[in-house]
Structure 1
């Protein structure tokens, strides 16, 4: 019971993302940002292996490209030209709208994601799974609590997209922040 995906499209998206995020680091580390994108895509690949019926190419490409519009100078039009409108629409939905107040950005993005195919929902679930690592040392308890509450909101809105990823995110939320 697996969903297929094209390795050449994966390589194309990974190379594009590596170039777009060149020089960026995972926040709070000296690791290249490409690591985060690969961890998100790894979560997607695991879900595709566990669940049938998903468009693996859409999910994998959006996983690798999900932060390009938000965090680089890459435009929607460039993604649409290279990867197609469906991928560009998915990446745009996964991007926060910087014109909104920070407190409104997550809910706005979730509403835009909900109008996309379920594979885009899966990317958001995988992204938050990946981000629920030990919080940065400089975060206070209120920031950690808000981040966990955001994860619960993501879970609540998007869990139906993938039982596999929903279960993974629920476990991450349950253990966040990890006991030290």
Structure 2
């Protein structure tokens, strides 16, 4: 992996997410982005069977379309068609009526692209299965865990390391449902 690719993507994401905080905390959103990127780097350390430069760019940029004013064309111009298409697949289509339909649609689009896109979705959910925000009720937590199970089942063939990590995080998440 080249540092220039990482640095260009993190600068872009840092500017786009500059005012965004982690839900339920005062931490800057770059904490989430760095955690997703670390999951990808650990998967690469476990087995070097994917394009780490592509995967890291996706990890860093994965929420730019969904959570910021970034448009597909801007990503395409800055990072190329391949990265822009991956980020678009990782973004929910908010024109669909329900969160469940949005997630299933995104998973369908992810599965039509290269495995690195699915790996980032796995890494994203692994990272998000930390202690939930204090204001989530039990129903929300259970729904979030169920979504993680759907993601795990749908993206089962993307990366052994990340698939096992997600399975473990889903099991550990039970402690938050009590």
**Class of the TM-score when normalised by the shorter of the 2 chains:** over 0.9
Secondary structure of 1:160's counterpart equals: coil
Q: Where in structure 2 are the equivalents of 1:156-171 lying within 5 Å? A: 156-171=153-168
Q: 1: distance between equivalents of 2:113 and 2:48? A: 18
* Candidates 29, 34, 38, aligned match of 1:38: 34
Q: Does 1:56 align with 2:64?
A: no
Q: CA deviation at 1:49?
A: 1.1
Comparing 46-55 with 144-153, greater Cα deviation is found at 46-55
Give the paired residue count.
176
1:119 corresponding residue in structure 2: 116
Mapped to 1, the partners of 2:92 and 2:174 lie a distance apart of 24
1:22-171 aligned within 5 A: 22-101=18-97, 102-171=99-168
TM-score, normalised to structure 1's length? Answer: 0.95
Aligned-residue CA RMSD (Å): 1.1
Runs of 4+, deviation exceeding 6 Å: none
Structure 2: gaps spanning 5 or more residues: none
Q: Tell me how far apart the structure 1 counterparts of residues 109 and 170 of structure 2 sit (CA, whole Å).
A: 23
Residue 13 of structure 2: aligned partner: 17
Task: Structure 1: state its 5+ residue gaps.
Answer: none
